[in-house]
């Protein structure tokens, strides 16, 4: 706890000093022109989450063995208990603004961390233009659970797509223009520069490693259309587009289509790590449908061209299992490291189906919202099935019960996860 | 034959004239409710069947006939959310998700009796065609028919005072004729700038037995905004206008 306080304090002091001694939320006098002092505003908000998770672990899974190489638990039922404060601040003075979003995780005094999710300054030279610099989250793409067009997005967890995530150190320029035309109603242009900042041990990056991204957005014939591109000499170059439209008043359709050049793909061949380079197209299409009973359905199909095929995944899984069953601690440790470096992410394969049904106040149960969702791997037929029950009996307090089960054979993606079932209980207080 | 044609022509002209008068009255009602471009602060109170209440406050900006945006100010759990409506298109921005998603007018972001279309109401004359129905000594009554299928309610019945042309009551019906909700306009208040209108809209519905929602207008002020305020890009910046 001291560790979190120590890390947060300088940030909070900096913002408070920046704000000076002005009263918060100065009352606006509608008849008088606000003075520059009155136009300075600082607002705080956030939430405090306490999370308890009960896991039923999958002791025979290779990923379990890799994770618990040392201090193997005596039971298959494990728990986690932590709290996660989110603290945000917005400071505005005329055309200048500063935004800060922080997140901390506390397991114990010895195991706590603070992340700056976003910290960036913003300047509006005119109403149409914005310049921003700092650490900022970009969230491109129309998909709910997956975003193949999210070239500079943080890695999304489809189990919790609305989770706040850490942004990217970058600068950007945005221009937006509205039109009174029936066809083209507005368009915007966003140009992002991501300077190279070197590695963890070296603060110098190479100029030629600067990455660039561009997104142009249109509202054309009542349809949202984005066209985007990403340029880097180290990473694959990408171009893509996304689209969203309401077909009828209660049915929305959306899609993303991207082409990536020279993507390095890692596989296991003959029991060693292998890499190959290829180019190809990934895509997503989905719907959001509201039934008259107030039930919302989200359905999405996602194809990742650079994901592992069924046979490649089996080879990878065999590799993990063989090494995890060896009694060689060094080999197990190396395998765990290789897995973390080259096979990160929650969805490693090619084709997925995401389905979510949500219903506010089912059976007239006040303050409840329930939902059920599945992420189904179309290649190996393994899947995750999860339900959430949100209960908000009092303003700004939320209770969440979130059971999850996974199903699949030992050589499948979900069947090979390190747990079989889990139940999460969250208490969330907003301020 | 000529007489018959003349009668038919006269009837058509008369009904067309009556429709024009009804639509003119509807436009007057709109003008008496809101300036065409404005900013407003509103409080919504949802009363639940068990008697408990939930409050929300919003900052709303509107420009022209079909551009409206709304920022959630309270409670803290909803703060920073915003909704945007451009004609028939609606989007919701949630700060944690950090991008706008398309929503429908029928959905309710805040729960209770009000749906998104109620909260992001455009002028009635933009969405409906009006005809006169039989009123009372003190009130006109209009029947309204939606101009297209994207409008949240297919038909409305509307009661308007004859003296000041102020809206008093609206009943909203589905295409099948089922009563969906009733809105009562109460407590006239002078908002300044020559605008005196009901400050409270009470809403109840046979579909939500025991629920009642109150929309309370705290301030309404004429204000002009650049068009770019009503874009997806601006949804996370609405707070800068306050």
Residue B216 confidence class, pLDDT cut points 50, 70, 90: very high
Please name the residues in contact with A411: beta carbons below 8 A apart, sequence gap of 6 or more: A313, A314, A317, A318, A380
For residue B190, the distance in angstroms to the closest alpha carbon of chain A comes to 15
Q: What pLDDT was estimated at residue A180?
A: 85
B98 touches chain A (CB under 8 A): yes
Over the stretch B50-83, which tens digit does the pLDDT of each residue have? Answer: 888 889 999 999 998 889 999 999 999 999 999 9
Q: Tell me the β-bridge partners of A289.
A: A251, A297
Rounded mean pLDDT, A342-353:
88
pLDDT > 90 fraction of chain A, expressed in percent and rounded = 64
Give the closest residue to A176 by CA, choosing from A238, A133, A221, A219: A219
Q: What pLDDT was estimated at residue A123?
A: 96
Residue A1 confidence class, pLDDT cut points 50, 70, 90: very low
Over the stretch A35-45, which tens digit does the pLDDT of each residue have? Answer: 555 567 899 99
Over the stretch A67-92, which tens digit does the pLDDT of each residue have? Answer: 887 788 889 999 999 999 999 999 99
The residue ranking higher by pLDDT, B135 or A229, is A229
At residue B9, does pLDDT exceed 80? Answer: no
B209 touches chain A (CB under 8 A): no
Over the stretch B75-123, which tens digit does the pLDDT of each residue have? Answer: 999 999 999 999 888 999 998 888 899 987 766 666 666 777 778 878 8
User: What mean pLDDT is reported for chain A?
Assistant: 88
Q: What pLDDT was estimated at residue A383?
A: 96
For residue A84, the distance in angstroms to the closest alpha carbon of chain B comes to 15
Residue A33 confidence class, pLDDT cut points 50, 70, 90: low
In our burial notation (b when 16+ CB lie closer than 10 A, e otherwise), range B81-90 reads bbbbbbebbb
The residue ranking higher by pLDDT, A19 or B127, is B127
Helices A310-325 and A329-342: crossing angle in degrees, nearest 10, is: 150
User: What mean pLDDT is reported for chain B?
Assistant: 86
What is the predicted ipTM?
0.84
pTM over 0.80: yes
Chain-chain contact of B97 with A161 (C-beta, under 8 angstroms): yes
Q: Tell me the β-bridge partners of A220.
A: A184, A223
Three-point CA angle B168, B104, A130, nearest 5°: 100
CA B193 to chain centre: 21
- Look up residue A41 and give its two tokens: 């505003």
At residue A9, does pLDDT exceed 70? Answer: no
Q: What pLDDT was estimated at residue A216?
A: 97
Round to whole Å and give the CA distance between A428 and A410: 36
**Residue of chain B whose Cα is closest to the Cα of A187:** B231
Using only the alpha carbons of chain B, give its radius of gyration. 19
B41 touches chain A (CB under 8 A): no
Give the closest residue to A166 by CA, choosing from A143, A189, A198, A134: A134
What DSSP letter does each residue of chain B carry, written as one string? -HHHHHHHHHHHHHHHHHHHHHHHHHHHHHHHH--SSEEEEEEEEEEPTTS-EEEEEEEEEEETTTEEEEEEEESTTTTT-EEEEETTEEEEEETTTTEEEEE-TT--SS-SS--HHHHT---HHHHEEEEEE---SSEEEEEEEESSTTSS-SEEEEEEETTT--EEEEEEE-TT--EEEEEEEEEEEEEETTEEEEEEEEEE-TTSTT-EEEEEEEEEEE----GGGGSGGGGGGGGGG-
Q: What pLDDT was estimated at residue B117?
A: 75
Q: What pLDDT was estimated at residue A34?
A: 56
At residue A310, does pLDDT exceed 50? Answer: yes
Q: What pLDDT was estimated at residue A202?
A: 74
Q: What pLDDT was estimated at residue A409?
A: 87
Over the stretch B12-55, which tens digit does the pLDDT of each residue have? Answer: 444 555 666 899 999 999 999 999 899 999 999 988 888 888 89
Distances (CA, A) of A2 to A16, A74, A88, A101, A105: 20, 32, 20, 20, 12
Round to whole Å and give the CA distance between B127 and A128: 30
At residue A387, does pLDDT exceed 80? Answer: yes
Chain-chain contact of A430 with B75 (C-beta, under 8 angstroms): yes
Number of residues that this document lists for chain A = 431
H helix or E strand, kind and range, residue A51: strand A40-57
Residues in B touching A97 (Cβ below 8 Å): 240
Over the stretch A238-296, which tens digit does the pLDDT of each residue have? Answer: 999 999 999 988 899 999 999 999 999 999 988 889 999 999 999 999 999 988 888 99
Rounded mean pLDDT, B218-226:
94
At residue A376, does pLDDT exceed 90? Answer: yes
Q: Which of A212-221, A396-405, B175-184 has the lowest mean pLDDT?
A: B175-184
- DSSP summary character for residue A349: B
Q: What pLDDT was estimated at residue B13?
A: 47
For residue B75, the distance in angstroms to the closest alpha carbon of chain A comes to 7
- Look up residue A414 and give its two tokens: 């979900």
Parallel, antiparallel, or unpaired: how do β-strands A419-430 and B89-94 relate?
unpaired
At residue A394, does pLDDT exceed 80? Answer: yes
Count of beta carbons in the 10 Å neighbourhood of residue B206: 10
CB A336 within 8 A of CB A344: no
Distances (CA, A) of B15 to A150, B20, B161: 56, 9, 22
At residue A358, does pLDDT exceed 70? Answer: yes
Rounded mean pLDDT, A142-146:
95
Please name the residues in contact with A68: beta carbons below 8 A apart, sequence gap of 6 or more: none
Residue appearing with tokens 């389905």 = A355
Nearest-by-Cβ selection for A178 from B50, B221, B227: B227
Nearest-by-Cβ selection for B77 from A185, A249, A398: A398
**Residue of chain A whose Cα is closest to the Cα of B94:** A162
Give the closest residue to A227 by CA, choosing from A188, A192, A285: A188
CA A172 to chain centre: 20
Round to whole Å and give the CA distance between B58 and B224: 18
Q: Which of A223-227, A300-304, B179-183 has the lowest mean pLDDT?
A: B179-183
Q: Which of A46-50, A157-161, B158-162 has the lowest mean pLDDT?
A: A157-161
Q: What pLDDT was estimated at residue A113?
A: 95
Give the closest residue to B81 by CA, choosing from B103, B100, B105, B54: B100
Nearest-by-Cβ selection for A366 from B50, B94, B221: B50
- DSSP summary character for residue A2: H
């Amino acid at each position: 706890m001291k560790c979190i306080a120590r890390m947060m304090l300088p940030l909070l002091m900096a913002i408070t000093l920046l704000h000076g001694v002005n009263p918060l939320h100065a009352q606006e006098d509608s008849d008088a022109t606000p003075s520059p002092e009155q136009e300075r505003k600082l607002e705080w908000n956030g939430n405090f989450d306490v999370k308890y998770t009960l896991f039923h672990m999958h002791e025979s899974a290779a990923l379990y063995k890799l994770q618990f190489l040392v201090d193997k638990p005596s039971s298959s039922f494990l728990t986690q208990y932590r709290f996660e404060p989110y603290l945000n601040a917005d400071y505005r003075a005329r055309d200048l603004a500063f935004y800060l979003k922080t997140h901390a995780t506390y397991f114990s005094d010895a195991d706590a961390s603070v992340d700056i999710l976003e910290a960036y300054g913003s300047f509006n030279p005119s109403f149409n233009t914005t310049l921003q610099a700092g650490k900022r989250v970009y969230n491109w793409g129309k998909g709910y659970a997956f975003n193949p067009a999210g070239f500079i997005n943080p890695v999304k967890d489809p189990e919790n797509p609305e989770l706040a995530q850490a942004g990217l150190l970058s600068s950007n320029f945005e221009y937006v223009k509205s039109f009174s035309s029936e066809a083209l109603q507005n368009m915007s242009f966003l140009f992002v520069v991501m300077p190279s900042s070197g590695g963890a041990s070296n603060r110098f990056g190479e100029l030629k490693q600067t990455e660039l991204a561009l997104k142009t957005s249109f509202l054309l014939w009542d349809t949202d259309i984005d066209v985007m591109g990403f340029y880097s000499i180290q990473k694959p170059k990408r171009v893509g587009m996304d689209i969203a439209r309401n077909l009828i008043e209660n049915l929305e359709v959306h899609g993303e289509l991207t082409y990536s050049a020279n993507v390095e793909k890692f596989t296991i061949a003959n029991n060693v790590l292998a890499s190959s380079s290829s180019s190809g197209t990934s895509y997503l299409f989905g719907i959001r449908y509201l039934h008259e009973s107030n039930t919302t359905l989200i359905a999405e199909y996602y194809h990742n061209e650079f994901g592992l095929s069924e046979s490649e995944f089996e080879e990878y899984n065999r590799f993990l299992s063989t090494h995890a069953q060896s009694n060689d601690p060094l080999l197990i440790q190396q395998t765990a490291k290789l897995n973390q470096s080259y096979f990160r992410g929650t969805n490693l394969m090619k084709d997925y189906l995401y389905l979510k049904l949500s219903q506010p106040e089912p059976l007239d149960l006040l303050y409840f919202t329930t939902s059920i969702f599945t992420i189904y791997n179309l290649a190996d037929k393994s899947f995750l099935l999860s339900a959430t029950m949100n209960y908000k009996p009092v303003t700004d307090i939320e209770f969440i019960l979130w059971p999850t089960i996974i199903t699949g054979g030992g050589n499948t993606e979900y069947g090979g996860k390190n747990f079989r079932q889990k139940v999460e209980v969250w208490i969330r207080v907003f301020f | 034959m000529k007489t018959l044609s003349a009668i038919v022509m006269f009837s058509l002209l008369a009904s067309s004239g009556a429709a024009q008068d009804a639509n003119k009255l509807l436009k007057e009602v709109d003008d008496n409710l809101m300036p065409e471009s404005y900013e407003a602060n509103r409080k919504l109170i949802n009363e639940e069947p068990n008697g408990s209440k939930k409050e929300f406050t919003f900052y709303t900006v509107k420009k022209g006939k079909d551009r409206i945006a709304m920022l959630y100010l309270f409670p803290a759990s909803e703060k920073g959310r915003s909704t945007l409506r451009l004609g028939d298109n609606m989007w919701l921005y949630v700060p944690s998700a950090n991008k706008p998603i398309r929503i429908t007018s029928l959905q309710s972001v805040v729960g209770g009796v009000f749906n998104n279309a109620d909260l992001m109401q455009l002028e009635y004359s933009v969405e409906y065609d009006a005809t006169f129905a039989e009123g009372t000594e003190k009130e006109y009554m209009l029947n309204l028919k939606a101009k297209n299928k994207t409008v949240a309610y297919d038909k409305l019945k509307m009661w308007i005072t004859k003296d000041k042309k102020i809206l008093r009551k609206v009943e909203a019906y589905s295409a099948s004729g089922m009563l969906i909700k009733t809105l009562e306009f109460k407590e006239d208040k002078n908002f300044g700038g020559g605008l005196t209108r009901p400050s409270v809209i009470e809403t109840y519905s046979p579909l939500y037995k025991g629920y009642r929602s109150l929309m309370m207008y705290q301030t309404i002020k004429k204000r002009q905004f650049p068009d770019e305020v009503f874009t997806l890009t601006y949804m996370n910046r609405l707070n800068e206008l306050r």
